[in-house]
Structure formats: C-alpha cells, structure tokens
Amino acid sequence: MKPLGLLGLLAVTGCSLAPGTARADTPAPGGEKSGWTNKPPIRFPISDKPADPWAGVKGDKPITFEDEDSEVSSRWELKKQDIECTAARDHCLPSIAWLWVTQLRPTQLAQVVAFTAYGPRTPNGLRWGKINPDAYIAYRTVPATKHNLVPGAIAFAYPQPYPKELTEVYVDWRYGKVEKVDWELGFVFLEGDGEPRILTGTRVAVISYDGKQLKILGDKKRDQLAVSPKDLILP
C-alpha cells in the first residue's frame, strides 16, 4: 500500500494544519512551490473610524497584500486589541476586507476575506484558509446608516449587536437584500431570512467584485460611498 504522506494523513484523520503553517503547494512569487514555512502572517490594524470603502480597491480590482507589504504573503490576521467592535471601529474589519459570497450554491452566509496574489483568503487560523475562486461575488461594505440601509440594498448582519472580540468578526455574517427596516425597534429584515437582524451589527454593500468586474452599487457616485461617523448606528 502506498504511504499516504502528511497531507493525506491529515485528510483521513480530519486534522487540519497548525495555524502558521502553509501548505507545500502554495506558489511562491516566481511560480515555484514554496514548501513549508512558518513566515508570520501580515497583521492589519483596526480602524478607529469607518474606513473609506475605496481603501480595499486598487485600480479596477481588490487591493492585494503585495500592494500593502513588500513581502508577498497569503496569510493575514488582525492586530490583537481589547476593544469593542462597534460600527465606530468599522466592526473591526480591516480596511482591505471584503465580504465574500459563493455563487456555486444558494447561501445566506458570507465570509470575511482579503485578496492575495494567490486569490481571496480567510483570516489566518480559520479551518478553511483558501476560498474557492470560482463563481463568487465579494463586497466592500460600510456600516449601516439611515441613508444607505434602504429596501433592495444588499446588507450583511451580525447575529449580535456587534462582534464582542476579534475572532467573532470573521464569522456568522448573514447576507441578503433588505426587505424592510424597523428604525423604532432597531431591526432590519432581509429577504428570505426568518429572523430580524440588529441594526448596530449591520453593514451595507457599496462595491461588488465578481472576479472580473468592479461595480458601484446603489446608484451612487464614487465619492458618495463612505459614511460619516455622525451617521453611525451605535449600541
């Protein structure tokens, strides 16, 4: 019987690679296989205000790591800080983050990704660091306000008032079109979703990218996408 090798053994046993370990098939900048490495991930800071959505764009594509750092990497995470991830902190999403939705199957869940030279990647330490590059739409988002959270807009809602710690920022974002908003009670209702979602944990898509084309959403102009801190919906 042919030996399985380390990757085969991990697949059979259900074990995943330890955080900080890259797969041997990760391509190096020159195209050759890079081998196993413990190169530290790029750590992105947390903003003290809602980021300009164009901070995640370069030209007509999502910005990639090599645009931010001279050393090409496919691993990233947030700098650890003990803060509340409210809309005032852009829900602790880094300025290069996109909310990624697969088009290969119906879904109401989105994943936080950043783009690398090797395609979109989830944060370091998550079980699936590599995202299927086929048939997706990625969205640049901003915190919800009374100006942008309107019926028909594409929104992403967190199940709590806001993520309470950094590891929670990466998961559980619910995706859908806005059906209606109850401003008095503080809830948004998404099409096809059976539960009301909390306004303080809601974000609105303003730019989309499907791997080929970048689009501005909501009949807005380029300079109308960012939100003002004074318009934020806070707990």
Query: Which pLDDT score is estimated for 32?
Result: 32
Report whether 153 contacts 177 (CB < 8 A): yes
Look at residue 125 in the predicted model and tell me its pLDDT: 63
128 within a domain of the structure (yes/no): yes
Higher pLDDT: 70 or 11? It is 70
Residue 104 lies in a domain: yes
45-49 long-range contacts (CB < 8 A, ≥24 apart) are 45/78, 45/79, 45/94, 46/78, 46/79, 46/81, 46/83, 46/89, 46/90, 46/92, 46/94, 47/89, 47/90, 47/94, 47/95, 48/88, 48/89, 49/88, 49/89, 49/90, 49/229
In this predicted structure, what is the pLDDT of residue 217?
96
Q: What percent of the chain has pLDDT over 90?
A: 56
- pLDDT computed for residue 124 by the predictor: 77
Better pLDDT: 194 or 180:
180
Q: Is residue 233 part of a domain?
A: no
In a domain, 153, yes or no: yes
Give 88-98 pLDDT, tens digit per residue. Answer: 999 999 999 99
Using the predicted structure, report yes or no on whether residue 152 has a pLDDT greater than 50: yes
pLDDT in tens, 10-62: 333 333 333 333 332 333 333 333 333 456 778 888 889 999 999 999 999 99
Domain-embedded: residue 134: yes
Domain count, the chain: 1
Give the span between the Cα atoms of 208 and 224, in whole angstroms: 15
Report if residue 130 sits inside a domain.
yes
Domain of residue 129 covers 43-226
The pLDDT assigned to 120 comes to 87
Q: Is residue 29 part of a domain?
A: no
Q: Is the pLDDT of residue 185 over 80?
A: yes
Mean pLDDT of the chain: 81
Residue 94 vs residues 38, 42, 43, 131, 161: alpha-carbon distances, Å = 23, 12, 9, 18, 19
- The pLDDT tens digits for 72-112 are 567 788 778 788 899 999 999 999 999 999 999 999 999 99
Question: Would residue 178 count as lying in a domain?
Answer: yes
Q: For position 26, what pLDDT does the model report? A: 37
pLDDT of residue 93: 93
